[in-house]
Chain A
């Protein structure tokens, strides 16, 4: 299973801990929306490439 983690804000310790447990022994990718100009085209590709997408706070 490949999991895509999308971060809407800088992940804090709680989010990092949850991501670490959820992605343990699994493929994982990430995308940061908390930047000046997110590459939405790349985001769409990543979403289609993943089995599960989690959009964190």
Chain B
């Protein structure tokens, strides 16, 4: 059986936590779901529920990456470069640039 692989990419802070929840929802629906916090958003520290969402996503073989060291260290996200993300996207069945970019 072929499983869908989905990657959501977040480029503004307002949609990051919401987007991670969306990835978790897709994982619950039996998809491989990943998220990536892109260059700009400076995240806030996850609260207990948000950290739990990330943990659940990882339990279901998904993950959340970030392209900046600050976001990785703050919320225990996996580091990834834009080039590595691009290569990962080649393997996805669905690619979702999530939300809108705020000027």
Contacts and interface: CB of A to CB of B under 8 A. Distances in A.
Contacts, number: 36
Nearest to A26: B90
Contact of B85 (A18, A56, A57): A18
Interface stretch (B27-35, B57-65, B93-101): B93-101
A20 B83 CA distance: 10
Size band of the interface chain A makes with B: 10 to 19
A14 B85 CA distance: 11
Contacts of A22: 86, 89-90, 95
Interface of A: 8-9, 14-15, 17-18, 20-22, 24, 52, 54-57
20 contacts: A14-B38, A14-B39, A14-B82, A17-B82, A17-B83, A18-B82, A18-B85, A18-B86, A20-B86, A21-B83, A21-B86, A21-B89, A21-B90, A22-B90, A52-B93, A54-B95, A54-B97, A55-B97, A57-B11, A57-B97
